[in-house]
Amino acid sequence: MKILVPIKRVVDPYAKVKALADGTGLDTAGLKFEINPFDEIAVEEAVRQKEKNPAIEITVVTIGGAECEEQLRKALAMGADKALLIETADVMDSPSVATELAAVAGELAPDVILMGKQATDDDCNQVGQMLAAKLNWPQATFASKLDLTNSSALVKRETDSGEETLELSLPAVVTTDLRLNEPRYIALPGIIKARSKPLERRAMLTQPKLLTRVTRYEAPPTRAAGRKVGSVDELVSVLRERGAF
């Protein structure tokens, strides 16, 4: 059984990121980059499935610049078998990422594509569903539990009002939510040890045609500064004055 895990390199999700003063981009100077946290959960899940079923082969793939090797190496250190770096300097939007990933899936023929529900930089929450549509595969988004057999996936997923369990026949796309697992910690020596695992670099198979582009980045409107109150009594009376209760 083959699992394909698309991962994205994103700016450290705990860093304070600002727009550049001229509005043309983001100021990420000096900030760390990481595997998108939801993709790290996807890698972890694939590895846990492999621990249960050693016949599983895990390929991680990313579309981006040469610097993404760092994130692929980390995924290999976590336990993925192979990595594919689709090198491009092009600006991508979700449809172009989904189109390229669909071409990769066409070639590698995975049984499951396990990926993040959203990238914490663009917060789009689009690629997994678009990819599933392009491949005409069933999808289960926001997974919090995954049971795989050779022909089906049983996925518990988070919904607006609670949870639901879906049964999908494979091949299928599953996107991860926060509570699927807690990714293992990989120290630097582990990453260096994984250097012997195969990492292939190649160019895009498809030609990106942008359907959207960002024309401006700016700071969000700020809220007026608040104040501290001295006691519960004061808090309740201010709230009453403002008509909150």
Partner 1 sequence: MSRLLLIAFDATEAENGAAFGQKLGLPWDVLCLSGDCSADLGAEKTFKSDRTCDDPADGLASGLLALVRGYSHIAAISSMRSKDVLARLAGLLNAAMVTDAIAIESPSLFKRPIIAGAVIATVEVLAEPVVITFRPAGFGSANRAGSSASESISLSFESTAKVVATTARGGSRPDLTQAKIIISGGRPLRDAETFERVLGSFADQVGGAVGATRAAVDSGIAANELQVGQTGKIVAPDLYIAAGVSGSTQHMAGIKDSKIIVAINKDPDAPIFEFADLGLVADLFEAVPAMQEKLK
Ligand X SMILES: Nc1ncnc2c1ncn2[C@@H]1O[C@H](COP(=O)(O)O)[C@@H](O)[C@H]1O
Site size with partner 1, rule: CB under 8 A: 78
- Please tell me whether residue 59 binds ligand X under the rule CB under 6 A: no
Structure tokens at 214: 């960002």
Do the beta carbons of residue 170 and residue 151 sit within 8 Å?
A: yes
Q: Which of residues 62-101 bind ligand X (CB under 6 A)?
A: 62-64, 92, 94, 97
Among residues 18 and 179, whose Cβ is nearest to ligand FAD? Answer: 179
Among residues 7 and 85, whose Cβ is nearest to ligand FAD? Answer: 7
List phi, psi (to 5°) of 195.
-65, -20
Q: Which of residues 30-59 bind ligand FAD (CB under 6 A)?
A: 37
- Please tell me whether residue 38 binds ligand X under the rule CB under 6 A: yes
Q: What element of type H or E holds 99?
A: helix 94-108
Distance CA 89, CA 73 (A): 20
Q: What's the min distance (Å) between Cβ of 42 and ligand FAD?
A: 13
**C-alpha distances in angstroms, 105 versus 98, 102, 111, 148, 190?**
10, 5, 9, 19, 28
Which of 39, 40, 44, 177 touches ligand X by CB under 6 A?
39
Which of 120, 197, 206, 208 touches partner 1 by CB under 8 A?
120
Structure tokens at 232: 């519960």
Q: Which among 58-66, 82-90, 196-204, 236-244 is the span making contact with partner 1, rule CB under 8 A? A: 236-244
Do the beta carbons of residue 174 and residue 157 sit within 8 Å?
A: no
Q: Which of residues 136-195 bind ligand X (CB under 6 A)?
A: none
CA angle 28, 94, 168 (to 5 degrees): 125
- Please tell me whether residue 125 binds ligand X under the rule CB under 6 A: yes
Among residues 53 and 165, whose Cβ is nearest to partner 1? Answer: 165
Structure tokens at 226: 């608040």
